[in-house]
């Protein structure tokens, strides 16, 4: 599969890529809201845990929608790998918080690190797809 660039993206694919971009932004905003609710639950009011759990259950399906979508439209391998990483990282987060093994340390210690990795991958995905939707104008060329 050829690398998708703003210059070679057919006009007929623009709506599909724009929709994909909108879902990546929504997913990223849900991650931000999740981090804020966990902070509120821990530092302010434990009742916020319900919102935290509700958000996870509500937006995690978006990662699967994005995964199907990224193989429906031509995208670069980098964007596909970033998209693939979202449900994998969500699954690992679920396992680390819900799996109780008799280990010297709890797997839950990896939960925040996986969350950081998830946010990093999601933000990078938004950035990469954004370059396709909103190509940077080259100031050195004359038209």
Predicted confidence at residue 1, as pLDDT, reads 47
Residue 3's pLDDT band, with cuts at 50, 70 and 90, is low
Predicted confidence at residue 140, as pLDDT, reads 64
| pLDDT of 59 over the 70 cut | yes
Residue 11's pLDDT band, with cuts at 50, 70 and 90, is confident
CA-closest candidate to residue 64, choices 83, 77, 79, 81: 83
Report residue 131 as tokens: 């370059």
Q: Among all chains, which residue has been given the structure tokens 């999601």?
A: 122
| pLDDT of 4 over the 80 cut | no
Distance CA 69, CA 25 (A): 14
Residue 141's pLDDT band, with cuts at 50, 70 and 90, is low
């Amino acid at each position: 599969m050829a690398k998708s660039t703003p210059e070679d993206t057919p006009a007929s694919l623009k709506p599909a890529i724009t929709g994909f971009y909108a879902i990546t932004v929504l997913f990223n905003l849900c991650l931000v809201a999740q981090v804020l609710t966990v902070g509120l639950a821990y530092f302010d009011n434990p009742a916020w845990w319900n919102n935290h759990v509700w958000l996870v259950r509500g937006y995690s399906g978006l990662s699967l929608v994005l995964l199907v979508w990224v193989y429906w439209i031509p995208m670069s391998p980098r964007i596909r790998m970033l998209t693939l990483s979202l449900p994998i990282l969500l699954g690992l987060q679920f396992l680390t918080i819900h799996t109780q093994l008799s280990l010297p340390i709890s797997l839950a210690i990896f939960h925040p690190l996986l969350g950081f990795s998830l946010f990093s991958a999601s933000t990078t995905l938004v950035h990469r797809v954004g370059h396709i939707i909103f190509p940077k104008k080259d100031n050195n060329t004359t038209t």
